[in-house]
A and B are shown apart, each in its own frame.
Chain A
Amino acid sequence: MTTPSHSPSHSPSDTPAVIRADGLIKDFGSARALNGLDLEVGHGEVHGFLGPNGAGKSTTIRIVLGLMKATAGRVELFGGDPWREATTLHQRLAYVPGDIALWPGLTGGQCLDILSATHGGLPQSSRDDLIDRFDLDPTKRVRDYSKGNRQKVVLIAALAADVDLLILDEPTSGLDPLMEQTFQDCVRERRADGCTVLLSSHILGEVEALADRVTIIRRGQTVTSGTLAELRRHTRTTVHAVTIDRPDGLEVAPGVHSSACNPIDGHVDCRLSIDADRLDDVVGRLHAARIHTLTVTPPSLDTLFLERYRDEPEGDDMIAAQTGAGNSTAAAS
């Protein structure tokens, strides 16, 4: 079993964690949904919460919100007990549930006002501004909305609320790429205002674009947690180089896991998989062989995610990894 790799000292701020869950266990009858899950969300960060379908993301969120009671383990929200002090703590947060359910007979605007009434109402200006940015027609009845439009109603209600914490459970599953961009902009703005965000998702690109730190869970347990940089440190970078001469000793260089060099068109085409922190040595050897082109691809969250699950002995279930995470590439000649 992989042990969580994070420690409290990694928290980006000295203020106490906004959300802290230790060893959460949740049983539904004989089925165990959470099996000792840990989660820590620091003040002011956007925290990605990743896991395949059925891993326990929504259950964890409901326990954090005090909508469900953990079978065992400790959970703190703003330092309080969410089960006992739900209504007091809820004054400081807004939530977008994974399953959007609105009243089919009401208009989007009416639903928006109903949802925001539970947060003590919205400032009219931010309501109008967000309706405009998300291009929502608030006069249409919910039954005539597409899934994406229903999602917008709930998103606007949450994003416009004047709160310290946003809990978003797969908030963009029905949005088109344009609206996805608007959503990311809004989250960044809220973060700049000092708002903490817990973003559950299985769209890795979105998390990669927004999150300061991530927690990856699987089968009700935390697989790993940390900043993206920390997570990448333990994974492999792919290097593709075309050199004039054949590089020396690549196979035996420290940190190289696989390498293949083949002569192509009078050059040498090399593909390597290396530990991320051993780049320097490898590039030195390639440089000595006179680089023609060089592409270094750091591990995307996708590969990170897939790798984490491949490590698991019982890696039989579907990985919900949706590809599309941006690969940062560097090319030189």
Chain B
Amino acid sequence: MTAGLGVLLRIQWRVRRRAIVTWVVALTASMIGTAVSIASLYDTPEKIQTYASAVTSTALLAINGRVEGLNSLGGVIQDEFGFLAAFIMPLLGISLMTSLTRGEEQAGRHEALLSGRISRHMPVLAASLVTSAAIGLTGIGFTIGLVAEGVPFVGAMLYSLSLMTLAFSFAGLAAVLAQLTLHARNVYALSLLILAVSYVVRGVGDVTGSWLTWLSPLGWAEKTAPFGPQRWWVLAIPLAAGIASTTLAVTLAARRDLGSALVQGGVGPDHASTRVRTGLGLAVWIHRPAIVGWTAGALILAAMMGSLAQQLLDAMASNPALADAIGASGGRPEDGFMAMTLLYLAVIASGYVVQAIGTLRGEESSGRLEAFIGTGMARRTWLFNHVVVIVGGLVMLTIAGSLTLAGTAALSTGSSSAFGSVVAGGIAYLPADLVLAGVALALYGYRPEAFSVAWAAYAITAFVALLGPGLQLAGWMEDLAPTTHIGDPPVGSPQLVPLLILGFTVMILLWAAFAGFSRRTVPRT
């Protein structure tokens, strides 16, 4: 039954250890970061009490969940980490499981392995164990971090276990989906769709205080109430769901053909359309999924925040510390809230550009770039086409996100006076996004093998933007993120000199990217 399990575990760890370590370290760091910032902001029982009475609004219930035991430090941390945890914990499970199962199979690397002394279902089982180990390490890191900040051990452990079982249940889901669909990207898309539905169901359940919450995996994590009545038995639900789905996945894997899926792809057109045959048209076709996906994410966030604007303003009015924690302090509260959301949109937008530019590496390593520049298309033309399309997508995403935020906020507050300044503020972030695009392009042009540096730059930007206000980072650390130099519109207004410096930086990086790309060897991956 377990033929080849040990061998396969070693192989999976060997080929994915970098991703596993990155996940564990990043998640533990973000949890500890949140805990540190909360512990310093709410350092007396009185302050914690004000937090508890402030976050009863519908909007916060929808976003962070209905947390029990808010009158404790742990409860505040659970509430504040709620939004982030709801997405990154499931993503941990989905990402590792998908890459180790369908990802490897799709790349064709299971064929040689399964001709050895390894059963067909063993990759899924091994992937589940490896993913569970990564989840376990993350949970241990969580518990240690929470206890270090003064959260009682038992509560910290139950909270960590609730997040671990959340990740585990989504890993199980991804394992099943990996048996049903032929491509890893479909596993991601379907898992994220189910995650989004779970989030909405949990939100509706929490706002209405109904049993709906119990239908969502995110609700199960919440109902363990680690800082309230501590319902340990609830852990059994995600655990059972995870074990059942993993067992189903293992059974399906044992019964199906290698390289097959229950849902097979259809046939495509036998000719490329004339549009796709042009360099620019092909670039559009290549980047369209990224543009559509990231724009959809931006629109959902903008619409959600915008439509909850009034409720959030009410919550902040009764708790100034809340405004501090989410980085929306200073000036008029409505401006502060809009500024915070625009910053989030800028983080999404720069994530899109870095990812889109990263796909150029894929074009190169798969040999498709050579096919183009080997047939008469100048290198610069090829790169230029892609830059035009990627930047076009960025502008589209930014404008659509800002318009959605401004529009939904106007509906929620009943006043459209801020409409123009919100849209203008959103557009003002473009130079900051372009700096990250420039960094990514310059790396691609000169040293594509070091492209992970672009992701590191993005991670720093996102960290400063999302957690900087709560952590009260030093000025120079805040300045590392290009988004800091935009001036926090619409609270502040963008200043000419920083914008000029950002613009100049973009120009230099772009020039460097093209210069490097036309000189270096191709392919270089």
Stretch of A40-48, A109-117, A301-309 lying at the B interface: A109-117
Cβ-defined partner of B258 (8 Å) among A68, A101, A118: A68
Cβ-defined partner of B257 (8 Å) among A69, A94, A100, A114: A69
Stretch of B10-18, B304-312, B439-447 lying at the A interface: B10-18
Cβ–Cβ contact A86 & B11, under 8 A: no
Cβ–Cβ contact A117 & B10, under 8 A: yes
Interface residues of B in 104-145 (CB under 8 A from A): 107-109, 111-120
Interfacial chain A residues near B264, Cβ < 8 Å: 28-29
C-alpha gap A101/B115 in the complex (Å)? 14
Interface string of B1-26 (1 = CB under 8 A from A): 00110010011001100000000000
Decide yes or no: A143 and B365 within 8 Å by CB, A68-B258, A87-B4, A99-B108 being known contacts.
Answer: yes
Shortest C-beta distance, B362 to chain A (Å), equals: 11
Interfacial chain A residues near B119, Cβ < 8 Å: 86-87
Cβ–Cβ contact A101 & B116, under 8 A: no
Interfacial chain B residues near A28, Cβ < 8 Å: 260, 264
Q: Is B416 an interface residue (CB 8 A)?
A: no
Shortest C-beta distance, B455 to chain A (Å), equals: 16
Cβ–Cβ contact B115 & A91, under 8 A: no
Interfacial chain B residues near A91, Cβ < 8 Å: 117
Cβ–Cβ contact B111 & A118, under 8 A: no
Cβ-defined partner of B11 (8 Å) among A114, A157, A167: A114
Interface residues of B in 256-305 (CB under 8 A from A): 257-260, 264
Interfacial chain B residues near A69, Cβ < 8 Å: 257
Cβ–Cβ contact A101 & B117, under 8 A: no
Shortest C-beta distance, B162 to chain A (Å), equals: 35
Shortest C-beta distance, B282 to chain A (Å), equals: 24
C-alpha gap A110/B7 in the complex (Å)? 14
Interface string of A140-162 (1 = CB under 8 A from B): 00010000000000100100000
Cβ–Cβ contact B365 & A120, under 8 A: no
Decide yes or no: A90 and B115 within 8 Å by CB, A97-B108, A117-B7, A143-B525 being known contacts.
Answer: yes
Interfacial chain A residues near B109, Cβ < 8 Å: 101-103
Cβ-defined partner of B14 (8 Å) among A66, A114, A119: A114
Interface string of B413-442 (1 = CB under 8 A from A): 000000000000000000000000000000
Main secondary structure of the interface of B (DSSP, over half): loop
Shortest C-beta distance, B130 to chain A (Å), equals: 15
Q: Is A294 an interface residue (CB 8 A)?
A: no
Cβ–Cβ contact A87 & B107, under 8 A: no
Decide yes or no: A90 and B111 within 8 Å by CB, A105-B15, A118-B4 being known contacts.
Answer: no
Cβ–Cβ contact A154 & B112, under 8 A: yes
Cβ-defined partner of B113 (8 Å) among A29, A94, A100, A118: A118
Interface string of B365-403 (1 = CB under 8 A from A): 100000000000000000000000000000000000000
Interfacial chain B residues near A86, Cβ < 8 Å: 114, 119-120
Decide yes or no: A65 and B3 within 8 Å by CB, A29-B264, A101-B109, A103-B15 being known contacts.
Answer: no
Q: Is A260 an interface residue (CB 8 A)?
A: no
Interface string of A251-272 (1 = CB under 8 A from B): 0000000000000000000000
C-alpha gap A200/B258 in the complex (Å)? 19
C-alpha gap A143/B362 in the complex (Å)? 12
C-alpha gap A181/B310 in the complex (Å)? 77
Interface string of B347-375 (1 = CB under 8 A from A): 00000000000000000010000000000
Cβ–Cβ contact A87 & B14, under 8 A: no
C-alpha gap A67/B525 in the complex (Å)? 32
Cβ–Cβ contact A95 & B115, under 8 A: yes
C-alpha gap A86/B3 in the complex (Å)? 10
Cβ–Cβ contact A65 & B115, under 8 A: yes
Cβ–Cβ contact B257 & A118, under 8 A: no
Interfacial chain A residues near B10, Cβ < 8 Å: 117
Cβ–Cβ contact B7 & A118, under 8 A: yes
Which residue from chain B places its CB closest to the CB of A157 in the assembled complex?
B112
Cβ–Cβ contact B257 & A97, under 8 A: no
Cβ-defined partner of A87 (8 Å) among B15, B117, B525: B117
Cβ–Cβ contact B107 & A101, under 8 A: yes
Q: Is A104 an interface residue (CB 8 A)?
A: yes
Interfacial chain B residues near A114, Cβ < 8 Å: 11, 14-15, 113
Q: Is A34 an interface residue (CB 8 A)?
A: no
Interface residues of A in 63-80 (CB under 8 A from B): 65-69
Q: Is A93 an interface residue (CB 8 A)?
A: yes
Decide yes or no: A67 and B114 within 8 Å by CB, A86-B119, A117-B11 being known contacts.
Answer: yes
Selected A-B contacts with CB under 8 Å, 21 pairs? A28-B260, A29-B264, A62-B257, A65-B114, A67-B257, A67-B259, A86-B119, A86-B120, A87-B4, A87-B119, A95-B112, A99-B111, A106-B15, A114-B14, A115-B112, A117-B11, A118-B7, A118-B112, A118-B113, A143-B365, A154-B112
Top 5 nearest A-B pairs by Cβ distance? A118-B116, A101-B108, A95-B115, A68-B257, A87-B3
Known contacts A86-B120, A101-B109; 8 further A-B pairs (Cβ under 8 A): A66-B120, A67-B111, A67-B259, A94-B115, A96-B112, A106-B15, A118-B4, A167-B115
